[in-house]
A and B are shown apart, each in its own frame.
Chain A
Amino acid sequence: MNLQGVKAIYRFEMERTWRTIFQSVVSPVVSTSLYFVVFGSAIGSRIKEIDGISYGAFIVPGLIMLSLLTQSTANASFGIYFPKFTGTIYELLSAPISYFEIVLGYVGAAASKSIILGLIILATANLFVTIEIAHPIWMLTFLVLTSVTFSLFGFIIGVWADGFEQLQIVPLLVVTPLAFLGGSFYSINMLPEFWQKVTLFNPVVYLISGFRWSFYGVADVGVGVSLAMIALFLSLCLGIVWWIFRTGYKLKP
Chain B
Amino acid sequence: MQSVISIKNLSKTYADGFQALKDVSLEIEDSEILALLGPNGAGKTTLISIVCGLVNPSSGSVEVSGHDIISDYRAARELIGLVPQELTTDAFQTVWQTVSFTRGLFGKPAKPSYIEKILRDLSLWDKKDNILMTLSGGMKRRVLIAKALSHEPRILFLDEPTAGVDVELRKDMWDVVRGLRASGVTIILTTHYIEEAEQMADRIGIINKGELVLVAQKAELMRKLGQKQLALHLREPLERLPGGLDDYELELSSDGRELTYLYSTQGKRTGVRGLLSALQGAGVEFKDLDTKQRSLEDIFVTLVKEQS
- B107 near A96 with CB under 8 A, answer yes
Return chain A residues, CB-CB under 8 Å to B147. Answer: 91
Q: Does A94 contact B (CB under 8 A)?
A: yes
- B101 near A248 with CB under 8 A, answer no
- A7 near B74 with CB under 8 A, answer no
- B101 near A86 with CB under 8 A, answer no
- A94 near B52 with CB under 8 A, answer yes
* Assembly CA distance A98 to B78 (angstroms): 12
Q: Does A9 contact B (CB under 8 A)?
A: yes
CB proximity to A under 8 Å, residues B54-104: 54-56, 73-78, 80, 82, 84, 86, 88-93, 97, 101-104
In the complex, which residue of chain B has the Cβ closest to the Cβ of A12?
B101
Q: Does B14 contact A (CB under 8 A)?
A: yes
Return chain A residues, CB-CB under 8 Å to B107. Answer: 2-5, 95-97
CB proximity to B under 8 Å, residues A13-66: 15-16, 19
- A252 near B106 with CB under 8 A, answer no
Please classify how large the interface on chain B is, using the bins under 10, 10 to 19, 20 to 34, 35 or more.
Answer: 20 to 34
- A91 near B102 with CB under 8 A, answer yes
Return chain B residues, CB-CB under 8 Å to A239. Answer: none
Q: Does A191 contact B (CB under 8 A)?
A: no
Q: Does A88 contact B (CB under 8 A)?
A: yes
Return chain A residues, CB-CB under 8 Å to B74. Answer: 2, 96-98
State the Cβ distance, A118 to closest chain B Cβ, in Å.
26
* Chain A count of residues within 8 A CB distance of the other chain: 28
State the Cβ distance, B108 to closest chain A Cβ, in Å.
6
In the complex, which residue of chain A has the Cβ closest to the Cβ of B12?
A253
A88 contact from B56, B75, B90, B109, Cβ within 8 A: B90
- B105 near A97 with CB under 8 A, answer yes
* Assembly CA distance A252 to B86 (angstroms): 17
In the complex, which residue of chain A has the Cβ closest to the Cβ of B80?
A94
Return chain A residues, CB-CB under 8 Å to B108. Answer: 4
Q: Does B167 contact A (CB under 8 A)?
A: no
- B91 near A86 with CB under 8 A, answer yes
- B15 near A253 with CB under 8 A, answer yes
- B54 near A90 with CB under 8 A, answer yes
* Assembly CA distance A253 to B20 (angstroms): 12
- Count of A-B contacts with CB under 8 A? 82
B90 contact from A7, A8, A86, Cβ within 8 A: A86
In the complex, which residue of chain B has the Cβ closest to the Cβ of A8?
B104
Q: Does B137 contact A (CB under 8 A)?
A: no
State the Cβ distance, A23 to closest chain B Cβ, in Å.
13
Return chain B residues, CB-CB under 8 Å to A98. Answer: 74
Return chain B residues, CB-CB under 8 Å to A12. Answer: 93, 101
* Assembly CA distance A92 to B82 (angstroms): 11
State the Cβ distance, B181 to closest chain A Cβ, in Å.
21
Return chain B residues, CB-CB under 8 Å to A95. Answer: 77, 102, 105-107
* Assembly CA distance A105 to B109 (angstroms): 16
Return chain A residues, CB-CB under 8 Å to B97. Answer: 15
Q: Does A192 contact B (CB under 8 A)?
A: no
Return chain B residues, CB-CB under 8 Å to A5. Answer: 104-107
- B86 near A87 with CB under 8 A, answer yes
Return chain B residues, CB-CB under 8 Å to A86. Answer: 88-91
In the complex, which residue of chain A has the Cβ closest to the Cβ of B104?
A8
- A96 near B92 with CB under 8 A, answer no
Q: Mark A227-253, 1 if CB is under 8 A from B, else 0.
A: 000000000000000000000100011
Return chain B residues, CB-CB under 8 Å to A11. Answer: 101, 104
- A90 near B56 with CB under 8 A, answer no
- B106 near A87 with CB under 8 A, answer no
Q: Does A93 contact B (CB under 8 A)?
A: yes
Given A253-B14, A253-B56: A96 touches B89 (CB 8 Å cut-off): no
- B92 near A93 with CB under 8 A, answer no
B92 contact from A7, A9, A19, A248, Cβ within 8 A: A19
Q: Which of B53, B54, B102, B147: most chain A CB closer than 10 A? A: B54
* Assembly CA distance A96 to B103 (angstroms): 11
* Assembly CA distance A11 to B88 (angstroms): 20
In the complex, which residue of chain A has the Cβ closest to the Cβ of B91?
A86
- B105 near A93 with CB under 8 A, answer no
A96 contact from B77, B88, B109, Cβ within 8 A: B77
Return chain B residues, CB-CB under 8 Å to A4. Answer: 104-109
In the complex, which residue of chain B has the Cβ closest to the Cβ of A248?
B56
State the Cβ distance, B294 to closest chain A Cβ, in Å.
35
In the complex, which residue of chain A has the Cβ closest to the Cβ of B79?
A96
A sample of 6 more A-B contacts (CB under 8 A), given A5-B104, A87-B86, A96-B76, is A11-B101, A88-B88, A88-B89, A93-B53, A94-B53, A96-B106
18 A-B pairs in the complex with CB atoms less than 8 angstroms apart = A2-B74, A2-B107, A4-B106, A4-B108, A4-B109, A7-B104, A86-B88, A90-B54, A94-B52, A94-B53, A94-B54, A94-B80, A95-B102, A96-B77, A97-B105, A97-B107, A98-B74, A252-B55
Residues of A within 8 A of B (CB): 2-5, 7-9, 11-12, 15-16, 19, 83, 86-88, 90-98, 248, 252-253
